[in-house]
Amino acid sequence: MAAPGAPRGRLWTWLDERVGLADFEYLARKKQVPVHRHGLWYYFGGMTLFLFAIQVATGVLLLFYYRPSAEEAYESIQFLMAEVEFGWLIRSIHAWAANLMIFTLFIHLFSVLLLKAYRPPREVTWLSGIGLLGVALGLGFTGYLLPWNQLAYFATKVGTEITGVVPVVGPFLGRVLRGGDEVTGATLTRFYGIHVAVLPAITTLLLGLHLFLVQRHGMSVPPSVE
């Protein structure tokens, strides 16, 4: 139910009785940022989330013009950059935000390690963060091929060949990623699907879990401060 004394409309009351909105509101408001000399490192998690939001917004805009086929991918990028109003800006923001997101994500990772924020009861928060790191790297790798230029082609060729060193399943993983034995238009289509559907879906699940646990357990305080 809603907090006593808080004026609520009929819609809020109706929804609160059925889905417990007040409980979600309490969890969302439960935010205490510890103040100490290491407090600067808390910002990098939020910065990473902000950059991810930029990725989503600019990525959706790019979807309107990008064509994921070997015949049209490169030309669609050139059209976006040269003909679409502010298209060059949207694509540049998407690319730079991707690089910055990986950068802030690694800083966030190392700050968690150095401040020992992975200690009980935050092990699952840590594991979900590691999962998000893997997904972010996957987004960067799959997105690199989409311009379908020479640099992207050979980078993807080298990247997919690296999977061949994985024992037992390496060659199979390489064929799954490429959609065959070589990097072709099938690889482009496969990477596009992974980039815009599979990995974002996984990100949504892991990010939801990660943020819920951060709210649930609060922010960790380093042992040196405790």
- How many structural domains compose the chain? 1
Structural domain contains residue 25 = no
Q: What is the CATH number of the domain that holds 149?
A: 1.20.810.10
Give the C-alpha separation, 101 to 178, whole Å. 26
Structural domain contains residue 19 = no
Least confident span in 123-132, 162-171, 183-192: 162-171
Structural domain contains residue 24 = no
Domain that holds residue 178: 37-217
Confidence of residue 214 (pLDDT cuts 50, 70, 90): very high
Looking at residue 2, what DSSP letter applies? P
Predicted confidence at residue 164, as pLDDT, reads 82
Structural domain contains residue 177 = yes
Predicted confidence (pLDDT) per residue in 22-77, tens digit:
888 888 887 777 888 888 999 999 999 999 999 999 999 999 999 999 999 999 99
Helix pair 199-217, 123-145: axis angle to 10 deg: 150
Predicted confidence at residue 1, as pLDDT, reads 45
Predicted confidence at residue 6, as pLDDT, reads 56
Q: Can you tell me the mean pLDDT for 197-219?
A: 95
